[in-house]
């Protein structure tokens, strides 16, 4: 890593931290300004009043925000009001492991399927293979992920009885189906971009020269054409990874994955302020780091790109 790249990465990390601070502050102020509390007051008003006083929910909003910011600067996201006072940070880190595992497999599905379909469609341009793969791409990014997830659950229950128990988490066979449901729509987007970019690159003079030298198809396509064709694809890598991260909310809830997405839905329905603020902050950091990682890939693919 060059000195310019290191300085650029340091500045971006500071920007990520600043963004996370703004997101956490706005989220905290919004959720605490809503009417009501996380505790049920209809059945037992006395107990509800006691809980509000114990957790400082009766304090002025500025006092609550000041306490939150002081804890945040110490790396403490607070505690859950619903989960018997459990600390938010360990809870999120534990469930983030499941979300990151699902997201990693979804990214693998996106990259492998997207590159394979895009490269094949470009090489077989205007053939029946190209038309078939293009139809698959249109289907992929047109169908919502929750519809695709429901379809895959039904399909695996019929065709693969051993994988019928795809809902849940813990067994290895419970990973592929939600990963495919999460990654396939984004694989269709990658395939479309790869095809268009490959068709532009293979017409360049240096690719024709490589063919004229008698190089093998694998060397010409992978080493010469694909490497340059990936630069436009990497450009959407940040939003793509962001979509996978935020899209896991629906997929995790459908498949019963005990991750950040399921916890996000549960925290909103139960008005668990600590979890809501912690999750928004956590997602802001993940999205910022994902975009930073994508930006740092540019010099790797194209040595002409430098950060000064």
CATH code of residue 186:
1.10.3720.10
What is the C-alpha separation between 203 and 241, in angstroms, rounded? 30
Q: Is residue 58 part of a domain?
A: no
How many domains in the chain?
Answer: 1
Task: Single out the residue of 244, 237, 215 nearest to residue 300, CA to CA.
Answer: 237
What is the C-alpha separation between 244 and 92, in angstroms, rounded? 18
| Number of other CB atoms surrounding residue 74 within 10 Å | 7
From first to last of its 308 residues, the chain has per-residue pLDDT tens of: 677 778 888 888 899 888 888 988 888 888 777 766 666 565 666 666 666 676 666 677 788 788 778 877 777 777 777 766 677 777 778 787 888 888 888 888 888 898 888 888 888 888 888 889 888 888 887 888 888 888 888 877 766 666 555 566 766 777 788 888 888 888 888 888 888 888 887 777 777 777 777 777 777 777 767 777 777 777 777 777 777 777 777 888 888 888 887 777 777 777 777 788 888 888 888 888 888 887 887 777 666 677 76
Q: Is 87 helix (H, G, I), strand (E, B) or coil?
A: strand
What is the reported pTM? Answer: 0.76
Q: Is residue 52 part of a domain?
A: no
With beta carbons less than 8 A apart as the criterion, state whether 85 and 79 touch: yes
> Which pLDDT value is given to residue 55?
64
For the chain, report the end-to-end CA distance as a whole number of angstroms.
Answer: 12
With beta carbons less than 8 A apart as the criterion, state whether 306 and 7 touch: no
The residue range of the domain holding 185 is: 99-272
With beta carbons less than 8 A apart as the criterion, state whether 106 and 242 touch: no
With beta carbons less than 8 A apart as the criterion, state whether 268 and 201 touch: no
Give the distance, in angstroms, between the CA of residue 118 and the centroid of all CA atoms in the same chain. Answer: 22
Give the list of residues 6+ apart from residue 299 with CB closer than 8 angstroms, or none.
2, 5, 305, 306, 307
Q: Is residue 7 part of a domain?
A: no
What is the C-alpha separation between 3 and 299, in angstroms, rounded? 13
Task: Single out the residue of 140, 236, 136, 234 nearest to residue 181, CA to CA.
Answer: 140
Q: Is residue 218 part of a domain?
A: yes
> Which pLDDT value is given to residue 181?
87
| Number of other CB atoms surrounding residue 188 within 10 Å | 23
What is the C-alpha separation between 31 and 213, in angstroms, rounded? 65
What is the C-alpha separation between 234 and 294, in angstroms, rounded? 7
Give the distance, in angstroms, between the CA of residue 44 and the centroid of all CA atoms in the same chain. Answer: 41
Residue count of the chain, please give it. 308
Task: Single out the residue of 251, 282, 292, 60 nearest to residue 169, CA to CA.
Answer: 251
Q: Is residue 61 part of a domain?
A: no
Q: Is residue 85 part of a domain?
A: no
What is the C-alpha separation between 272 and 81, in angstroms, rounded? 6
Q: Is residue 69 part of a domain?
A: no
Residue 274 sits at φ, ψ, to 5 deg, of -60, -45
Q: Is residue 143 part of a domain?
A: yes
């Amino acid at each position: 890593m060059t000195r310019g790249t290191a300085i650029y990465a340091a500045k971006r990390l500071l920007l990520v931290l600043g963004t996370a601070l703004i997101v956490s502050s706005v989220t905290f102020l919004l959720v605490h300004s809503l009417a009501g509390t996380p505790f049920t007051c209809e059945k037992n008003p006395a107990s509800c009043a006691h809980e509000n006083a114990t957790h400082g929910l009766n304090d002025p909003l500025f006092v609550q925000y000041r306490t939150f910011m002081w804890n945040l600067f110490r790396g403490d996201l607070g505690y859950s009001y619903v989960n018997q006072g459990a600390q938010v940070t360990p809870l999120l880190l534990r469930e983030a492991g499941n979300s990151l595992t699902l997201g990693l497999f979804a990214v693998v599905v996106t990259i492998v399927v997207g590159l394979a379909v895009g490269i094949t469609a470009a090489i077989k341009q205007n053939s029946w293979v190209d038309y078939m793969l293009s139809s698959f791409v249109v289907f992929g990014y047109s169908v919502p992920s929750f519809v695709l997830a429901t379809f895959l659950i039904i399909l695996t229950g019929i065709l693969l009885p051993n994988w019928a128990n795809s809902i849940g988490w813990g067994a290895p066979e419970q990973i592929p189906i939600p990963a495919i449901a999460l990654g396939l729509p984004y694989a269709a987007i990658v395939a479309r971009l790869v095809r268009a970019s490959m068709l532009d690159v293979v017409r360049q003079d240096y690719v024709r020269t490589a063919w004229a030298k008698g190089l093998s198809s694998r060397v010409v396509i992978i080493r010469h054409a694909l490497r340059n064709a990936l630069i436009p694809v990497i450009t959407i890598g940040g939003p793509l990874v962001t979509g996978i991260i935020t899209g896991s909310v629906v997929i995790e809830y459908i498949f019963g994955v005990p991750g950040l997405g399921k916890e996000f839905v549960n925290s909103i329905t139960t008005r668990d302020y600590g979890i809501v603020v912690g999750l928004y902050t956590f997602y802001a950091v993940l999205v910022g780091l994902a975009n930073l990682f994508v930006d740092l890939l540019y010099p790797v693919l194209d040595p002409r790109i430098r950060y000064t």
